Amino acid sequence: MDNPGPPPGNLPFAPSPGMLEAAAAIVARYPEPRSATLPLLHRVQEENGWISLGAMRWVAEKTGRTPIEVLGVVSFYPMFRQAPSGRRHVRVCRTLSCALRGAEDTMRALEKELGCKRCETTADGAVTLEFVECLACCATGPVVQVDHALHEGVTPARVPALAAAVRASLSEKDHGLRPPVPGSPEWNG
């Protein structure tokens, strides 16, 4: 049987020219290269959407750390992703204020409306649905973040409209590029 080779996330990382330039500038900012670990990881995720094992090895080389140390950093911070997310990333705050205001019910409603279980991505790669910790909008929970936009007071009654807007946005080429419209997945507030 042929050797299937390493999984895609474990392939050597091929940084873009922009990434190489940014990495050199980031590392040069600090007296110790290891201090550049977090900003470099942010840069990788910003460009690629997630951080593969190959990318972690590359960051380790740039910062003089071991790959396992970089993996330790990536796995410690929930904002770092070790797998690609869907085209729309839906995050439900589950910290105390939002939990008391019904975040669990909101999550259940989103699971039903989006056809996606929590902590999973739909089979077609359209939507990732996750719980996250405080989104810093505690007085107006339950708070849901769709990509970069916050939606406040997302009760289960408001979920069908939000889910429909998220689904509709999948076919919009200019999603995230136009001025946000209240209630749209890009609306911040």
**In the complex, which residues of this chain contact ligand FES (CB under 6 A)?**
93, 95-98, 134-138, 141, 143
Least distance to ligand FES, CB of residue 133, Å: 8
Judged by beta carbon, residue 35 or residue 95, the one nearer ligand FES is 95
Least distance to ligand FES, CB of residue 96, Å: 6
Quick check: bond before 185 cis, omega within 30?
Answer: no
| d(C-alpha 36, C-alpha 44), whole Å | 12
Judged by beta carbon, residue 43 or residue 101, the one nearer ligand FES is 101
Enclosing H/E stretch for 129:
strand 127-132
Paired tokens of 110: 């989103």
Contact 111, 129 (CB under 8 A): yes
151 — phi, psi (to 5°)?
A: -125, 120
Query: Residue 89: helix, strand or coil by DSSP?
Result: strand
Judged by beta carbon, residue 53 or residue 144, the one nearer ligand FES is 144
| d(C-alpha 160, C-alpha 134), whole Å | 23
Give 89's strand partners: 128
Judged by beta carbon, residue 82 or residue 95, the one nearer ligand FES is 95
Give 91's strand partners: 130, 145
Least distance to ligand FES, CB of residue 12, Å: 39
Judged by beta carbon, residue 15 or residue 142, the one nearer ligand FES is 142
